[in-house]
């Protein structure tokens, strides 16, 4: 089975800190995604990447950046964390190209910013 | 722009009763449709998907969904729910060029099961 691993399940940070959320997948998937999940708002796409060093903005990129230096790793960066970034962050990956492709999700990283 | 509407925020059903969760989508071309389930504290797991062909699709855990193009709907059903089905359910839509496009999710429906 495809495995998507988010190394930090729970984080507590202070306002203004720089935060790194790491995601690693082990199935050579081209595409990787970062979503933010909030009650009543569902999942909203922050950034995605369809190749190494490539990135595309999603629906809510403000306040976030990403890094994809290796195919298997996609990092989400909060340059200066704010309380409104307290949320559940979900990483996902899938194969690229057209056709029947399915997202596989990690277990999530719950971030609290104080 | 593509979108997904899940009109029911929270549904409560008795164990053993039937279930239908509603999903309406908006997409300008042929949609790819998905249902995911999220248990508390976990990531999302794929229940089923529709890409083409038979409009009634079967998934895991005894779930099925029916694609109705005329109604822009993709409702999820289960004939008899189990206590372990309590979770949050998300409908999602993507395009046929989904390879390099995003998937858009609905806001989710929380399912509670009462004994």
Beta bridge mates, B31:
B95
Structure confidence by residue, pLDDT tens digits, B71-100: 999 999 999 999 999 999 999 998 755 455
Query: What are residue A9's phi and psi, to 5 degrees?
Result: -85, -35
pLDDT at B51: 84
Contact A58, A66 (CB under 8 A): no
Structure confidence by residue, pLDDT tens digits, B16-48: 999 999 999 998 777 889 999 999 878 899 999
Helix, strand and coil in chain B, % to nearest 5:
10, 50, 35
Structure confidence by residue, pLDDT tens digits, A33-44: 999 999 889 999
CA–CA dist A64, A42 (Å, integer): 18
Ramachandran region of residue B108, left (φ > 0), alpha (ψ -120 to 50) or beta?
left
Cβ–Cβ contact B102 with A under 8 A = yes
Within chain A, where are the H helices?
A: none
CA–CA dist A103, B45 (Å, integer): 9
Averaged pLDDT for residues B1-28: 94
pLDDT at B100: 55
pLDDT at A96: 67
Chain B, 79 to 98: residues with Cβ < 8 Å from chain A are 90, 96-98
Query: What are residue B85's phi and psi, to 5 degrees?
Result: -80, -10
Kindly report the nearest CA distance between residue B31 and chain A, in angstroms.
11
pLDDT at A6: 95
pLDDT at B94: 84
Query: What are residue B61's phi and psi, to 5 degrees?
Result: 60, 25
Structure confidence by residue, pLDDT tens digits, A46-87: 999 988 999 999 989 999 999 999 999 999 999 999 999 999
């Amino acid at each position: 089975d495809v495995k998507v691993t988010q190394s930090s399940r729970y984080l507590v940070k202070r306002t203004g800190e720089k935060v790194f959320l790491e995601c690693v997948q082990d199935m050579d998937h081209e595409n990787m995604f970062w979503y933010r999940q909030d009650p009543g708002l569902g999942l909203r796409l922050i950034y995605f990447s369809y190749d190494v060093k490539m990135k595309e903005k999603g629906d809510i990129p403000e306040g976030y950046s990403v890094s994809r230096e290796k195919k298997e790793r996609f990092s989400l960066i909060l340059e200066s964390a704010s309380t409104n970034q307290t949320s559940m962050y979900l990483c996902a990956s899938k194969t690229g190209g057209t056709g029947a492709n399915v997202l596989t999700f990690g277990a999530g990283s719950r971030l609290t910013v104080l | 722009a593509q979108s997904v509407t899940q009109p029911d925020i929270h549904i409560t059903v008795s164990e053993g009763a039937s279930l239908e969760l509603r999903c309406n989508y908006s997409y300008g071309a042929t949609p790819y449709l998905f249902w995911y389930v999220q248990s508390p504290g976990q990531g999302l797991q794929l229940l089923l998907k529709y890409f083409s062909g038979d409009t009634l699709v079967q998934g895991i855990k005894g779930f099925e969904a029916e694609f109705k193009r005329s109604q822009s709907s993709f409702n999820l059903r289960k004939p008899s729910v189990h206590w372990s089905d309590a979770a949050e359910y998300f409908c999602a839509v993507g395009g046929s060029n989904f390879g390099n496009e995003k998937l858009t999710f609905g806001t989710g429906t929380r399912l509670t099961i009462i004994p």
